Amino acid sequence: SVTVVHILITGGAGFIGANFVHQTVEERSDIRVTVLDALTYAGNRASLADLGDRIEFVHGDICDRALVDRLVADADAVVHFAAESHNDNSLNDPWPFVQTNVVGTFALLEAVRRHDVRYHHVSTDEVYGDLELDDPGRFTDTTPYNPSSPYSSTKASSDLLVRAWVRSFGVRATISNCSNNYGPYQHVEKFIPRQITNLIDGVRPRLYGAGRNVRDWIHVDDHNRAVWAILDRGEIGRTYLIGADGELDNRSVIGLILEEFGRDADDFDFVTDRPGHDLRYAIDPTPLRTELGWEPRYRDFRAGLAQTVAWYRAHEDWWRPAKSATEQTYAAQGEQVE
Ligand code: NAD
Ligand code: DAU
């Protein structure tokens, strides 16, 4: 383990990164925080505005080698969240996914190698592909990689770069592969915030395909506490899977959101399915629990969802600017009510 005095957080203006920055500032106030974020359509400076000068914000690209080298040289740990993160966008235009997720990770790895800085790589369960609905198994750190989409294949590629840099160059790195996050500051393109904000706008929620796809939901704060457990106590070179036993199919999630708004359970529309749509993700988080002593704090999805709905109701100023452009993008990608 390393005593972290100065942490560099990439993608800190995005959903999970912004929650990680808040958690770090609130719970580890002795640590100096620098955020590097390109402020793409998914990055929002407003997500960090309340922190004022308690953090240093650098507006820049992780593919900018000179900038990355300078920032990494000054830090003693890097947590890498920055990515193109949305599957639907990756089907429409994969180019920025290869650039940011693969080339950007490469630039960071070269810098942490040069300056011998501790590195944590934030990745996804989607690298393992999908499971059948009736498969009793869950993903573990020995499940073979089998990604389906341009997004998940670029995340898988970046994980493999990290593994090679550990083995070949002795880079002090760990990897985490987490399941689907929910909570505040999530972009309105993603499933849960899209439906919540649709309902606030009086629009019916939209379910891809038959709605039978299963995701393994975890609250973003539980994900971020697991990242800190790995930074504090994780073994260099290891991959840790993060999940909170939160499997639910999409139709059930829509049902719970509708219930929160006092609407009927069938008050939604089926729309065009996502090409190559992964059926089910499920994480076995045993090593994180038994070896690192991590436990999720959000065990009741309904309660966590109610809190998230309340956050979106109270923060319309935060999500409103992105809403209509997001819906226009879905329409332009050909989404239609079935
Ligand atoms: P997000 O899309 O909300 O945020 C991504 C952030 O990265 C944005 O602030 C964006 O401006 C920034 N960024 C993009 N390209 C950049 C570049 N070239 N240089 C610098 N900054 C750049 O994503 P998220 O949902 O917060 O995901 C964060 C990380 O967690 C990603 O690596 C993702 O693969 C991983 N992850 C996400 C989930 C999930 O459910 N959302 C689950 C597991 C893992
Ligand atoms: O599993 C972790 C991954 O979770 C992360 O790596 C990704 O960055 C993150 O975006 C997320 O990927 P998904 O593709 O699972 O998330 P998304 O929110 O796009 O969709 C969740 C499920 O809901 C999926 O089965 C597709 C479905 N869906 C999505 C939208 C936007 C709908 O039914 N309707 C919708 O409007």
Looking at residue 12, its pLDDT comes to 99
How large is the average pLDDT for residues 197-221?
A: 98
Residue 292 near residue 229 (C-beta atoms within 8 A):
yes
Instruction: Catalytic residue, from 119, 128, 151, 298: name it.
Output: 151
Residue 259 near residue 265 (C-beta atoms within 8 A):
yes
For residue 76 and ligand 1, the question of a CB distance below 6 A is answered with: no
pTM: 0.99
How large is the average pLDDT for residues 232-250?
A: 98
Q: What is the dihedral of CA 53, 59, 63, 65, to 10 degrees?
A: -70
Looking at residue 252, its pLDDT comes to 98
Write out the E strands in the chain: 6-10, 32-37, 56-59, 77-80, 118-124, 173-178, 181-182, 206-208, 214-216, 218-219, 239-242, 247-249, 269-271
116 is catalytic: no
Token pair in block for residue 331: 């329409």
Note the pLDDT tens digit of each residue in 46-82: 999 999 999 999 999 999 999 999 999 999 999 999 9
Looking at residue 148, its pLDDT comes to 98
Label residue 1 by pLDDT band (50, 70, 90): low
Note the pLDDT tens digit of each residue in 264-309: 999 999 999 999 999 999 999 999 999 999 999 999 999 999 999 9
Looking at residue 2, its pLDDT comes to 76
Atom of ligand 1 nearest to the CA of 85: 2
Centre of ligand 1 from the C-alpha of residue 62, in Å: 12
The rounded distance, in Å, linking the Cα atoms of 172 and 52 is 31
Query: Which residues are 337's β-sheet partners?
Result: 271
The rounded distance, in Å, linking the Cα atoms of 194 and 130 is 23
119 is catalytic: no
**Is residue 129 over pLDDT 90?**
yes
* Strands 247-249, 214-216: pairing kind: antiparallel
Atom of ligand 1 nearest to the CA of 44: 9
Residue with the nearest Cα to atom 31 of ligand 2?
191
Supply the mean pLDDT for the chain.
98
Instruction: Catalytic residue, from 125, 221, 278, 327: name it.
Output: 125
Looking at residue 37, its pLDDT comes to 99
